Structure 1
């Protein structure tokens, strides 16, 4: 009886122990629910950010910057007419009065009064305009700033002198295109030569000496007959209208320092072609950058 009792007791203990081992966590517990909420929120936020980034990128790609072209022909013509009348006079009363009358067609009333005595009645000189250069026309709203250089021949008694001066004026243009000068000619600086020097190309060794010699001979032959070549003749040596027909009396003399570089199966050439103009007898240097390729013979396929 004791053994039986102990066996049953043991079985009971084992059964309880087994039930404790297989105990599982329910999927409806609060902690699991919170984890699911965090996971789903992260996924939704990631998808939102992804679509937002794509939308922003698309808008950036479609951004267009428009350049407004302004026709300044009327501004330049008006300025040149004014400059010619402003800087032309004779040393006599009648000429000076005519000048003042002409200036009334360009200046505001205030400027007209201001410029009345710029050329005095007793002035000993006469002036004529030999050249006018417009350097720049810049716009701000309805106003234009024009920089120009005027070349004058100044005569006093029997002596004459050529002078060159640069000025800026301001003009106003109304909505129908009429113009008036709002600022007297003001001394300005003349544009000068820039010290910029472009980087010179160099042969990079990608074209061997035999090929360079072959291309040089082709170019010498081509540019010898090029000035008088017809379109039909050019078609044998030029593709895609890379060089136009010129029909000029030019005598080919030499190629000056051709530079060769290989690009895939093509040859890029920097070259100066020296001619003598048959009419003026002066030397003419044509500088070209060309791309050539070889089919049955060498062909010029592009002018840069």
Structure 2
């Protein structure tokens, strides 16, 4: 009996190498994505917010309060008339004191008690009042600069006195007024030392053209005072000069300056007229723009 032996080949056993799975851990990955998106969103928001902060300008709306100073002037005028008028007798002074109660605070009434007394030998009449400035100090108070002309009579002698003062008027929300600062000596504006720059012809207009313009202007200004609208249309465009309907008599052009501007001539001219009504001589100054087509014409 034969026994058959089968030899099995021995195979080397391959060891299983441990591996780490790098696959997506869903929970961790989701959290990281959320964090990343949140960061990006916040950065974009901050960026736009910063731009808005730099480019947005706040507009301050200032409410302008228009004040009608006519009533302040009227109130002040009535007060000044009473304040600077008096007679040196007790009855007249008592009446003056009573009237001032309508304008002055109680403190100012007391302050002015001794301004005019019966032993003062003068009478005063207000001849004229002129207002130079009404300036707001704040919402309800206004400084008033004025001058007053008084005729002062002492016995049989009269003299005219000119004075300037400032006072302060309080205007309440109901439109009522009261003097809160006594008339205080001041000064009115004086003549300015300003001297305008002399305008001379700049040489851009030649002698021949100058003679033509002189001749044109003399003709025009002789006709101008009595010229009708239709007659002016031959010399003037765009209603640059309107009819004046006067009997003025042309005397002369006293001065004229010409300068060329593009195809036009800028003109400054002084014209002397005799006024038959007043028998006076008047000199008027005109700034005109002239242009020549077929003839010279005033365009502006």
Place the TM-score, normalised by the shorter chain, in its bin.
0.7 to 0.9
Q: CA deviation digits over 1:196-250, x for unaligned, max 9?
A: 1111111111111111111111111111111111111112212222122211121
Deviation at 1:66, TM superposition (A): 8.8
**Structure 2 residues not aligned, in runs of 5+:** 1-43
Q: CA deviation digits over 1:30-72, x for unaligned, max 9?
A: xxxxxxxxxxxxxx9xxx9xx98x968xx79x99999765431
Scaled by the length of structure 1, what TM-score is found?
0.76
| 1:109-148 to 2 correspondences below 5 Å | 109-140=106-137, 141-148=139-146
Could you tell me which of 255, 261, 268 is aligned with 1:257?
Answer: 255
Could you tell me which of 177, 180, 184 is aligned with 2:178?
Answer: 180
Taking the aligned partners of 1:300 and 1:64, their CA distance within structure 2 comes to 46
1:79 corresponds to:
76
Q: CA deviation digits over 1:71-127, x for unaligned, max 9?
A: 311111211111111111122222212211221111112112221221112221001
Taking the aligned partners of 1:277 and 1:145, their CA distance within structure 2 comes to 43
Taking the aligned partners of 1:114 and 1:179, their CA distance within structure 2 comes to 19
Q: CA deviation digits over 1:243-271, x for unaligned, max 9?
A: 22211121111111100011001111111
1:107 corresponds to:
104
SS of the residue 2:235 aligns to: coil
Taking the aligned partners of 2:60 and 2:223, their CA distance within structure 1 comes to 50
Deviates more, 1:141-150 or 1:77-86: 77-86
Could you tell me which of 228, 232, 235 is aligned with 1:234?
Answer: 232
Taking the aligned partners of 1:201 and 1:63, their CA distance within structure 2 comes to 45
**Structure 1 residues not aligned, in runs of 5+:** 1-43
2:162 corresponds to:
164
Taking the aligned partners of 2:278 and 2:76, their CA distance within structure 1 comes to 35
Q: CA deviation digits over 1:4-54, x for unaligned, max 9?
A: xxxxxxxxxxxxxxxxxxxxxxxxxxxxxxxxxxxxxxxx9xxx9xx98x9
| Alpha carbons of structure 1 residues 201 and 219: separation in structure 2 relative to 1, 3 Å | same
Taking the aligned partners of 2:111 and 2:225, their CA distance within structure 1 comes to 58
Taking the aligned partners of 2:293 and 2:74, their CA distance within structure 1 comes to 53
| Alpha carbons of structure 1 residues 63 and 220: separation in structure 2 relative to 1, 3 Å | farther
SS of the residue 1:227 aligns to: helix
Runs of 4+ in 1 over 3 A off after TM superposition: 62-70
Deviates more, 1:265-274 or 1:87-96: 87-96
Taking the aligned partners of 1:192 and 1:239, their CA distance within structure 2 comes to 41
2:86 corresponds to:
89
| 1:28-39 to 2 correspondences below 5 Å | none
Answer yes or no: is 1:282 the counterpart of 2:280: yes
Taking the aligned partners of 1:64 and 1:269, their CA distance within structure 2 comes to 45
SS of the residue 1:287 aligns to: strand
SS of the residue 1:296 aligns to: coil
Deviation at 1:301, TM superposition (A): 1.5
Higher helix share: 1
Scaled by the length of structure 2, what TM-score is found?
0.77
1:21 corresponds to:
none
How large is the Cα RMSD of the aligned pairs? 2.6
Q: How many residues align?
A: 252
1:23 corresponds to:
none
SS of the residue 2:285 aligns to: strand
SS of the residue 2:124 aligns to: strand
